[in-house]
Structure 1
Amino acid sequence: MAHVVLFHSILGLRPVEGEIAAVFEADGHTVTLPDLYNGKSADDYDAGFAIKREISDEEISARATAALESVPDDAVLSGVSFGTMMASRFAAQRPQTAGLLFFAGVAPWFAQPRAGLPVSAHVARPDPFDDEDYFSDWLKTSGDADVALHRYEGAGHYFLDPSLDDYNEAAAKLCLDRSRDFLKSL
């Protein structure tokens, strides 16, 4: 079974990340949920960005680094929207990463991903934060990684979170089913 590190969105660590973790744990995986905001969270994106600015990128990075000290080198790195940046960044530093699992966005590659690296990304179409060219370019720069980009028509940005207007029940179910299959394949 996999050890998954799930970095939260710009909104902070909220109940939905715990719900995602519970789905994976029910399949026998271990999930680590770093709290990069030290207990703070937001109900909207503007407030989330304000928390991030208040804490600082340096402190958030230090908290993420500390969280990774206790997980296996081959952990699956995962993130939601802003959290995909953390997952992508640390994958560049952890060559034994078993896979990348992105929700509600994709992050630029901080280093060319290794050939065959399993990557599963789940993004709304259209996504309000990135245009379609961004996703095309991201795929083109993925090198020889084994990338699957799943798009969810008409879903909101963070379509997994039932507390947000973005929520889309059908897309959330399909995304979690695909993610469970991805983790089982590793």
Structure 2
Amino acid sequence: MAHVLLFPSVLGVRQGITDLADALTDAGHDVTTLDPFDGETFDDYPSGMAATKAIGDEALQARALAAAQGVDAPFVAIGFSVGAATAEWVAAQLPEAARGVVMVGGGIPMRFIEATWPSGVPGQVHVTSEDPFHEEDKQFDPMVDEYLQDDVEQAGGEYTFVEYQGSGHSFTDPSLRAEYQPAEAQIFTRRMLEFVAAVG
């Protein structure tokens, strides 16, 4: 059974992350949650982005890789928002251990993180149809989703793109009232349990 690694957004380890960790644990999976801010959380994205910038990408990647290496077992990486890119990067660094990657709020083509998608590893993207951050990514490059799909499929992995109605970027987090979408969050959690069980 694969170990699950959770990589939060710039808002930190909020309820949406802990709820998913609890659901996975209840299903019998071991879960490790990377906490880049040592327990601190943020209520808005600019504050979280500033804290992330203060730590630096290299330091965040080093912590994430150390956490994955410390598991010493096959893993599924699930990342939220910016954490999705971290999940992709960690899987690329440890291709023999990676069993699946889930990117919530949108993924990023591998060229932008200077890495290669691990061979045969499935990838899933989960976004809402009007997610402002995902829309911003597509304005930057309309082919962003297609590039990521090519990365996964050219490496022999199965690519799945799941779009939910609504506009919540962190739609799985009950503590973010403006974004939380309970029905979609429930469906997402069910899909995560199914995915981890299938690839693990």
Q: Same fold (TM over 0.5)?
A: yes
What corresponds to 2:160 in structure 1?
148
List alignment gaps of at least 5 residues for structure 2. Answer: none
SS at match of 2:70: coil
What corresponds to 1:12 in structure 2?
12
Paired residues of 2:14 and 2:173 also in contact (CA < 8 A): no
What corresponds to 2:148 in structure 1?
138
Q: CA deviation at 1:169?
A: 0.9
What corresponds to 1:178 in structure 2?
191
Paired residues of 1:37 and 1:60 also in contact (CA < 8 A): no
Q: CA deviation at 1:152?
A: 0.7
Larger helix percent: 2
Q: 2:120 aligns with which of 116, 123, 126?
A: 116
Paired residues of 1:25 and 1:31 also in contact (CA < 8 A): yes
- Aligned-residue CA RMSD (Å): 1.7
SS at match of 2:11: coil
Structure 1 runs of 4+ aligned residues shifted over 4 Å read none
Do structure 1's residue 166 and structure 2's residue 179 form an aligned pair?
yes
Structure 2 counterpart of 1:179, one-letter code: M
Paired residues of 1:106 and 1:121 also in contact (CA < 8 A): yes
CA distance in 1, matches of 2:56, 2:118: 30
Tell which has more relative contact order, 1 or 2 (C-alpha 8 A, sep 6+).
2
Identity %, equivalent residues: 35
Paired residues of 2:109 and 2:147 also in contact (CA < 8 A): no
What corresponds to 1:89 in structure 2?
89
CA distance in 1, matches of 2:163, 2:82: 18
Do structure 1's residue 157 and structure 2's residue 161 form an aligned pair?
no
